[in-house]
C-alpha cells in the first residue's frame, strides 16, 4: 500500500471561502488548479470538500480530475457497456484544468462557526486518503432581520384609559339661578343663557369626540338659607330636576338614568364661600355663626346680628345667587387603543435590542392578535425559536404578512 504524501503533486487550492450570500444559504467556493498536478495520467484525483464545527459535518459535491489515460480507459469501458456517448459531466475535469468551484447548501444553525477542509483521494492505485485541512474558516452568524409593522390606533379597539373625568368649565362653578321660591328655569335672568349653552356644548363635544365616552351629569340643587327648611329641601331637589329636564329636552338621547341628582338643600356652604370672599364688616361673626350653629337657631342668630342689618345685606346681595342648581358636573372617560400603543412601544424596544423589555410590554396584551407578530419577533431575536414559531404561526393564520417573512428565517 502506497502512502499518500502528495503535497508536491496534487492539485492546489486557491481563494477558498465559506460565505453566507443569503440568510438561508451557505456557499463554499475555491479555485482548484491542476496545471502542476504531478499525479500519473493513469489516475483520477477526487477532492471532496466539507465543512465542520467539531460536532457536525456537511459534505459537498466532489471534484473529479481525470488523467488523460484514465479518461480514455473510462470512455472505453463505458463504450463496451453500450454507453457510447459517455463524457465528462459537471464536477468532472481533465488534468490541467483550473476548476472554479461554487456550491450552495441550506443554512443550518450549527454552521455559524465552521472550518472548510477537503478529503483527497487518488483512484487507480492503492493509496491512503489525504486531507486539505483548514482551508478556510468563517463566522456565519447573522442576527435575524425583524419584520415589524407599527399599528395605527383603531376605534374598534378603544378602551377606557382615564375614567370618570370631570369636564372643565373654567375657574368658576356653573350656576343656573332661579327666582325666589321658584323652580322654573328662566334663561334671560342673570347669566343663565350662557351657562345652559356651556352645559349643552360640553355634552356635544364629548359625544362628537371618538376618544371620549360620555359618563353622567351630576346636578346639585340648592335653595338659599331663608324660609322653612322642609320647603327649601323640596325647592333644592326640584330645581335640580328642572335643570335635568331642560337638558334632556335639548339632548333627547339622554335619559334620567344619565343624571345623578344631589339635593344640596339649604346652601350654607355656598353662603360661607361668598362671605369669605367678601369685605363684609361682620365677616368673622357671620362665619362663626355658620360654623357653630345648625337649623333654625343658626338662622335666628344670623337674623339678629347687628340689629338685622347684616342679614338684610346678605338677603339682598348673596341670597339671590344661592337660589341655584349649582355644582353642575359633566363626567366622561378618555378612550384610546392601548394595545396599539403597546405594540408600537414594544417594536421600538426591539429595534433598540431590548427584547425582554419588549416582551414585558406585549405579553399583558397577548390575547389581542395584533401582538402576535411582535411577540414572535422578540422570541426570535432571543433565539427562542420554538416559542417564536408558535406566535408566527398564529399570526400567519390571521393574515399578518410580516409573520410569514419572520417565520421563514427560523424554519430550517
Query: What DSSP string runs through 21-33?
Result: EETTEEEEEEEEE
Nearest to 31 by CA among 118, 112, 106, 121: 118
Q: Over pLDDT 70: what percentage of the chain?
A: 93
Q: Kindly indicate the confidence band of residue 383, based on its pLDDT and cuts at 50, 70 and 90.
A: confident
Please state, in angstroms and rounded to a whole number, the distance separating the CA atoms of residues 219 and 244: 8
Tens-place pLDDT, residues 67-122: 999 999 999 999 999 999 999 999 999 999 999 999 999 988 889 999 999 999 99
- pLDDT of residue 3 exceeding 60, the answer is no
Question: What is the band of 9 on the pLDDT scale with cuts at 50, 70, 90?
Answer: low
Q: What is the Cα–Cα distance from 150 to 370, expressed in whole angstroms?
A: 10
Q: What is the pLDDT of residue 323?
A: 61
More confident residue, 48 or 178: 48
Reported as a single tens digit per residue, the pLDDT across 147-197 is 999 999 999 999 999 999 999 988 777 788 888 788 899 999 888 899 999
Q: Are 56 and 115 in contact (CB under 8 A)?
A: no
Instruction: Indicate whether 199 pLDDT > 50.
Output: yes
The whole-number pLDDT of residue 320 equals: 72
Name every residue whose Cβ is closer than 8 Å to that of residue 220 and which is 6 or more positions away in sequence.
240, 262, 263, 264, 325, 326, 327, 328
Mean pLDDT, residues 322-350: 89
Q: Tell me what pLDDT residue 409 has.
A: 86
Q: Which domains does the chain have, with CATH numbers?
A: 12-139 (2.60.40), 161-278+318-335 (3.30.1330.60), 337-410 (1.25.40.10)
Angle at CA of residue 159, ends 158 and 162, nearest 5°: 125
How far is CA 315 from each of CA 8, 106, 225, 234, 282, rounded to the nearest angstrom?
123, 95, 9, 20, 14
Beta strands 324-336 and 159-166 are: antiparallel
Using CA atoms in the order 62, 68, 74, 76, what is the torsion angle rounded to 10 degrees? Answer: 160
* Residue 64 cell numbers, joined: 473529479
Percent of the chain with pLDDT over 90: 60
Per-residue pLDDT at 326: 63
Q: Please state the rounded mean pLDDT for residues 34-54.
A: 89
User: CA 166 from chain center: how many Å?
Assistant: 29
pLDDT at 163: 94
Residue 8 has a pLDDT of 37
Q: Which helix (H) or strand (E) holds 248?
A: helix 229-250
User: What distance in Å separates the CA atoms of residue 81 and residue 145, rounded to the nearest whole number?
Assistant: 54
What are the Cα distances from residue 171, in Å, to 167, 278, 306, 326?
Answer: 12, 18, 34, 14
Calculate the average pLDDT of the chain: 88
> Three-state SS for 139?
strand
Per-residue DSSP letter, 2:
B
Find which of 89-98, 129-138, 295-304, 310-319 is predicted with most confidence, using mean pLDDT.
89-98
* 3 state DSSP class of 62: coil
Cell numbers for 147: 419584520
Q: Is pLDDT of 7 > 60?
A: no
Half-sphere CA count of 193, side-chain side, radius 13 A: 3
Query: Tens digit of pLDDT for each residue in 244-281?
Result: 999 999 999 999 999 998 766 667 777 888 889 888 88
Helix, strand, coil share of the chain (percent; to 5): 40, 30, 30
Answer whether 18's CB lies under 8 Å from 10's CB: no
Taking the C-alpha atoms of residue 129 and residue 137, their distance in angstroms, rounded to an integer, is: 22
Amino acid at each position: 500500500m502506497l502512502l499518500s504524501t502528495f503535497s508536491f503533486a496534487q492539485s492546489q487550492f486557491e481563494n477558498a471561502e465559506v460565505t453566507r450570500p443569503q440568510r438561508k444559504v451557505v456557499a463554499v467556493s475555491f479555485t482548484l488548479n491542476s496545471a502542476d498536478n504531478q499525479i500519473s495520467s493513469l489516475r483520477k484525483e477526487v477532492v471532496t470538500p466539507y465543512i465542520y464545527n467539531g460536532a457536525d459535518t456537511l459534505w459537498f459535491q466532489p471534484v473529479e480530475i481525470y488523467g488523460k489515460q484514465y479518461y480514455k480507459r473510462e470512455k472505453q469501458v463505458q463504450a463496451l457497456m453500450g454507453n457510447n456517448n459517455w463524457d465528462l459531466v459537471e464536477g468532472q475535469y481533465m488534468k490541467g484544468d483550473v476548476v472554479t468551484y461554487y456550491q450552495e447548501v441550506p443554512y443550518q444553525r450549527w454552521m455559524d462557526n465552521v472550518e472548510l477542509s477537503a478529503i483527497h483521494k487518488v483512484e487507480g492505485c492503492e493509496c491512503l486518503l489525504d486531507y486539505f485541512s483548514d482551508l478556510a474558516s468563517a463566522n456565519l452568524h447573522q442576527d435575524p432581520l425583524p419584520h415589524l409593522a407599527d399599528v395605527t390606533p383603531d376605534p374598534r379597539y378603544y378602551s377606557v384609559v382615564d375614567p370618570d373625568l370631570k369636564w372643565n368649565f373654567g375657574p368658576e362653578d356653573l350656576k343656573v339661578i332661579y327666582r325666589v321660591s321658584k323652580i322654573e328655569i328662566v334663561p334671560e335672568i342673570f347669566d343663565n343663557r350662557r351657562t345652559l349653552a356651556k352645559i349643552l356644548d360640553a355634552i356635544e363635544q364629548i359625544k362628537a369626540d371618538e376618544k371620549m365616552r360620555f359618563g353622567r351629569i351630576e346636578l346639585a340643587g340648592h335653595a338659599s338659607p331663608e324660609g322653612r327648611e322642609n320647603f327649601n329641601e323640596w325647592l333644592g331637589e326640584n330645581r335640580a330636576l328642572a335643570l335635568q329636564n331642560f337638558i334632556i329636552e335639548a339632548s333627547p338621547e339622554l335619559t334620567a338614568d344619565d343624571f345623578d341628582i344631589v339635593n344640596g338643600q339649604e346652601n350654607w356652604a355656598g353662603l360661607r364661600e361668598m362671605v369669605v370672599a367678601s369685605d363684609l364688616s361682620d365677616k368673622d361673626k357671620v362665619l362663626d355663626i355658620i360654623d357653630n350653629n345648625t337649623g333654625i337657631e343658626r338662622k335666628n342668630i344670623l337674623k339678629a346680628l347687628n340689629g338685622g342689618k347684616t342679614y338684610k345685606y346678605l338677603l339682598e346681595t348673596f341670597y339671590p345667587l344661592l337660589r341655584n342648581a349649582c355644582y353642575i358636573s359633566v363626567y366622561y372617560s378618555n378612550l384610546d387603543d392601548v394595545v396599539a400603543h403597546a405594540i408600537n412601544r414594544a417594536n421600538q424596544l426591539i429595534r433598540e435590542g431590548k427584547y425582554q423589555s419588549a416582551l414585558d410590554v406585549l405579553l399583558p396584551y397577548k390575547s389581542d392578535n395584533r401582538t402576535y407578530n411582535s411577540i414572535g419577533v422578540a422570541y426570535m431575536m432571543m433565539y427562542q425559536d420554538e416559542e417564536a414559531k408558535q406566535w408566527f404561526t398564529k399570526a400567519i393564520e390571521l393574515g399578518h404578512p410580516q409573520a410569514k417573512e419572520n417565520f421563514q428565517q427560523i424554519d430550517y
